[in-house]
Amino acid sequence: MKVDTLSIHPTFECNQSCEICYMRKYKKADNFTLGEWLTLPKIASGFGVNQIACGGGEITLNPSFVRDFAKECKKNGVICNITTNGKPLKDYTDSALKMMFTDVTMVSISFNEFLIRSLDDIKEYKEIVKRVNKYAKTGVNLLLNASMIDNPKILLTTLEELFKMGAERIFLLHPKPSNLDITKIKDYIYAATIKWEHFYVDNSINQVIKHNSYKGWKHKCHFCKEFLSLTGRYLKGCSFQTGHIAKLNALEDLPKIVEGLKINGYDHCPAISGDKF
């Protein structure tokens, strides 16, 4: 199997406790050490990975790890993107941000109802985007919510304002599990795609919109196709898989396991419907 993107969760530690977060169930003992994670870029480049998306937990709680991991990625020709809730960044100096992000291609800062609860949070978010923009491309992970479905102008205005703030790319995420019906706002999502070149949607939104349905997809999703996820020691077909494909003893075992994987994909998203998979 050819892996384009490897999404990793090298820490389960977080400074927030978003009710929706799929990472809340993991235990520290099921993870590698940060030192072991630093060996991954070389291993991943060896089996053709193009980009590593580094999330968590909250990875910016370990600034020197971000710096060293991004450096390793660069050395091995792998794109390094990170996702952060942005909150720890306000306490770092500009030189600390520079040190952390110099070799990171894109820093995606999450924007959602669990992290942004007040006007002060919006002000703080704006300031962080401005500061991070000096050292790396800044993206936004925007989580859909019920008010955006009921009133799609909220979605369009949010996108407009986030791009104005300086976001280079916005990535719209479908909450999982969820009973939202995004087919209702399909035309607005198309309009946003036409209006903003760097507006993207996650694989599940893409599938639902493309098939105009939450099930019976003719073209299967990216699960275990061009995409894989590593949550600590657990190898998964996507980050939302409740089970796992394999539990790794060592990161060096990854290439062999990946080589033997059969292309898979689902015709619906078990994570949206809350199924075990």
State the residues that interact with ligand SAM by CB under 6 A.
14, 20-23, 55-56, 58, 83-85, 110, 112, 141, 143, 173, 175-176
Q: Cβ closer to ligand SAM: 1 or 149? A: 149
Per CB under 6 A, does 144 bind ligand SF4? no
Q: How far is CA 38 from each of CA 10, 21, 35, 154, rounded to the nearest angstrom?
A: 10, 25, 5, 41
CB of 54 to ligand SF4, least distance (A): 12
Give the residue from 243, 194, 193, 201 showing the smallest Cα distance to 222.
201
- Residues in Cβ contact with 46 at an 8 Å cutoff, skipping those fewer than 6 apart: 255
| Burial class for 85, CB neighbours closer than 10 Å (0-12, 13-18, 19+) | buried
For residue 143, the partner it binds in ligand SF4, ligand SAM, none, with Cβ less than 5 to 8 A by kind, is ligand SAM
Q: What is the 3-state secondary structure (H, E, C) of 195-217?
A: HCCCEEECHHHHHHHHHCCCCCC
Q: Does 19 bind ligand SF4 (CB under 6 A)?
A: no
Residue 1 touches which member of ligand SF4, ligand SAM, none, C-beta under 5-8 Å by kind:
none
Residue 84 contact, options ligand SF4, ligand SAM, none, Cβ 5-8 Å cut-off depending on partner type? ligand SAM
Q: Which of residues 29-68 bind ligand SF4 (CB under 6 A)?
A: 56-58
Least Å from the CB of residue 23 to ligand SAM: 5
Q: Which is nearer to ligand SAM, 55 or 152 (CB)?
A: 55
- Look at residues 237, 233, 234 and name the one whose alpha carbon lies nearest to residue 225: 237
Question: Which option in ligand SF4, ligand SAM, none does residue 17 bind, with CB closer than 5 to 8 A by kind?
Answer: ligand SF4
As a residue count, the chain comes to 277
Region from 11-19, 132-140, 151-159, 204-212 binding ligand SF4, contact rule CB under 6 A: 11-19
* Euclidean distance between CA atoms 24 and 12, whole angstroms: 8
**Axis-axis angle for helices 152-165, 186-195 (nearest 10):** 20
- Under 8 Å between Cβ of 136 and 104: yes
Q: Which of 1, 5, 18, 203 binds ligand SF4 (CB under 6 A)?
A: 18
66-95 positions binding ligand SF4, by CB under 6 A: 85
- Do 269 and 207 touch, CB atoms closer than 8 A? yes
Residues that bind ligand SF4 (CB under 6 A): 14, 16-18, 21, 23, 56-58, 85
